[in-house]
Amino acid sequence: MATKEEQECQHPKAILLSTGSIAFPYPWAPDTAPIQLLQLGQLVIIAVPTEMTTMAGRRTRAAVKARLVQRGVLSDTEGVVVIAGLSNDYQDYTTTFEEYQQQRYEGGSTIYGPRQLDGYAECH
């Protein structure tokens, strides 16, 4: 049975099986995400353990590029940021908040709730 906190976190998605609370024989849901930024000149590769929707990927690339340009790591005109999904682990889908609210396939297949994308976009 999902706790009230888990239900609030996943709203409007109903929780069929509270995998975040199951730890036997091992944890069913990861509590950390292996994320890497690799830079080769003006190319930055974001390695994430998730499948991002097109819009989630665009927002993540834009947020990371803006931060790297702000810090002087990349050129605004020449810098390129790409995403390498399904790297180092598998943590289901990542959608935008709006896509999550629709609860279509990808939105219903996220494990960290409607703000999951914010976590990836801010990890830089």
pLDDT (0 to 100) of residue 2: 87
Segment 36-79, tens digit of pLDDT: 999 999 999 999 999 999 999 999 999 999 999 999 999 999 99
pLDDT (0 to 100) of residue 123: 63
Residue whose token pair is 């590029």: 65
pLDDT (0 to 100) of residue 105: 94
Sheet with strand 80-84: strands edge to edge: 36-40, 43-47, 80-84
Cα separation, 56 vs 109, in Å, equals 14
Cα separation, 22 vs 89, in Å, equals 19
Q: What's the one-letter identity of residue 113?
A: G
CB 101 within 8 A of CB 123: no
Q: What percent of the chain has pLDDT over 70?
A: 98
